[in-house]
Amino acid sequence: MSKRIFLSPPWMGGRERALVEEAFASNYIAPCGPMVDRFEREFAAAAGIPNACALSSCTAALDLLFHELGVEHGDTVFCSDLTFVASVAPAVHRGAVPVFIDCDEATWTMDPRLLEEALGDVARTGRLPKAVVAVDLYGQCCDYGRIEALCAAHGVPLIVDAAEALGAVYGAGQRVRHAGDAGWAGVYSFNGNKIITTSGGGMLASRDAGVVERARMRSQQAREAQVWYEHRALGYNYRMSNVVAAIGVGQLEMLDTIVAKKRQIFEWYREELAGVAGLGFMPEAGYGRCTRWLTVVTLEDGGQRSEAGVPSETVERVRLALEAANIEARPVWKPMHLQPVFGAARVYGGAVSGQLFAGGLCVPSGTGLARQDVSYVCDRIRGVLAGR
């Protein structure tokens, strides 16, 4: 059997190993040090946001933001419905009640019309959410302009979960903005399958220097600037390690190359699968440029109604046929409102994300893929859909 084709494996294309050796040579094998400072500086420049704090994960970044906002029992937090659970789990751990907002089928990101409706409903009762978490899905920015304006009109802090979207842009020309540069703060992930990886890690960035400074302090057990261990408040152990940051510095140097390659892979799929009946692709929003972190296809279900809460029979058939050829593919994120853990949660809309989950499949999108790998995957997909 041929080598396994993974969904989105790490791709170390640059100077990562040399930089890790540099970290070793300096003996900063610690959760602080020159590589962490450098990664933060270079990340801030790449993301176009002046302040950034490197952390052990994106989940940690979100937790620090919910701490900063004082999210506590009985609060509500609005969150994109179509996302990975980490977007909202740290708030729920603090006792918040999540309210989910469905996506717009033209962008697969939070539908501003539904957000407007949801904010309007709670504004009448005076119980506004502590935050809105809007997710940049599969490398595509949500509609920053409209979502930001709605949050600002109600005075609700906007957190952009750009875990999947580093390298994406919103707007064009003079007014271009990088992923995560909207609202109050942006968070990013460097987990193993994200667009750049440090094995595990995250970043918190904000135009508000105070937010980032306090997060940095809390990520190191809230230690005061004293020679002895002095604490006026309690913090966490969330800081990124200096060794891990060295990988990040090397990966960041390759970001433009990686984004270009991801978009190339998407184009290869589009060419290979053009004209296949019942097969479509995640749309690219007109307001920006998607990284195509993952290429996502949609498969029509031949008229059969799929059961709620599981992928369609067609998606499973294609996925299993790929698996049999040692190719990894995965269903689209299962929407939060369909997750048993959030059984009773309120959702605005829900039909769009439900349909995308039922009919969507993420296909191999690793930066190292060659054209013939994509052809090989597409042969299998065409084969199954043709009933062979």
Ligand X SMILES: *Cc1c(COP(=O)(O)O)cnc(C)c1O
Measured in whole angstroms, how far is the alpha carbon of residue 237 from the centre of its chain? 22
The site map against ligand X for 197-216 (x = CB under 6 A) is -----x--------------
Whether the CB-CB separation of 169 and 180 falls below 8 Å is answered with no
Rounded Cα distance, 254 and 202, in Å: 17
Q: Which is nearer to ligand X, 167 or 381 (CB)?
A: 167
Whether the CB-CB separation of 138 and 164 falls below 8 Å is answered with yes
The site map against ligand X for 138-177 (x = CB under 6 A) is -----------------------x-xx-------------
Q: 135 - beta bridge partners?
A: 161
Q: How far is the CB of 202 from ligand X (least distance, A)?
A: 4
Q: Which is nearer to ligand X, 186 or 350 (CB)?
A: 186
Q: Which of the residues 42 through 81 are near ligand X (CB under 6 A)?
A: 57-59
**Could you give the 3-state DSSP secondary structure of residue 160?**
strand
Rounded Cα distance, 197 and 8, in Å: 11
Closest to 313 measured CA to CA, from 385, 370, 256: 385
Q: How far is the CB of 63 from ligand X (least distance, A)?
A: 9
The site map against ligand X for 116-135 (x = CB under 6 A) is -------------------x
Whether the CB-CB separation of 240 and 201 falls below 8 Å is answered with yes
Closest to 147 measured CA to CA, from 139, 138, 158: 158
Q: Which is nearer to ligand X, 204 or 374 (CB)?
A: 204
Q: How far is the CB of 191 from ligand X (least distance, A)?
A: 4
Cα dihedral 120→122→126→129 (10° resolution): -110
Q: How far is the CB of 192 from ligand X (least distance, A)?
A: 9
DSSP code of 280?
Answer: E
Q: Which of the residues 348 through 377 are near ligand X (CB under 6 A)?
A: none
Q: How far is the CB of 356 from ligand X (least distance, A)?
A: 15
86 binds ligand X (CB under 6 A): yes
108 binds ligand X (CB under 6 A): no
Q: How far is the CB of 200 from ligand X (least distance, A)?
A: 6
Cβ atoms < 10 Å from Cβ of 15: 16
Q: How far is the CB of 87 from ligand X (least distance, A)?
A: 5
**Continuous segment of H or E residues that includes residue 330:** strand 330-331
Q: Which is nearer to ligand X, 191 or 206 (CB)?
A: 191
Measured in whole angstroms, how far is the alpha carbon of residue 185 from the centre of its chain? 14
Count of residues of this chain found to bind ligand X when the rule CB under 6 A is applied? 14
Q: Which of the residues 241 through 300 are near ligand X (CB under 6 A)?
A: none
Closest to 94 measured CA to CA, from 61, 64, 125, 58: 64
Pick from 28, 43, 66, 84 the residue near ligand X by CB under 6 A: 84
87 binds ligand X (CB under 6 A): yes
Residues that bind ligand X (CB under 6 A): 57-59, 83-84, 86-87, 135, 161, 163-164, 189, 191, 202
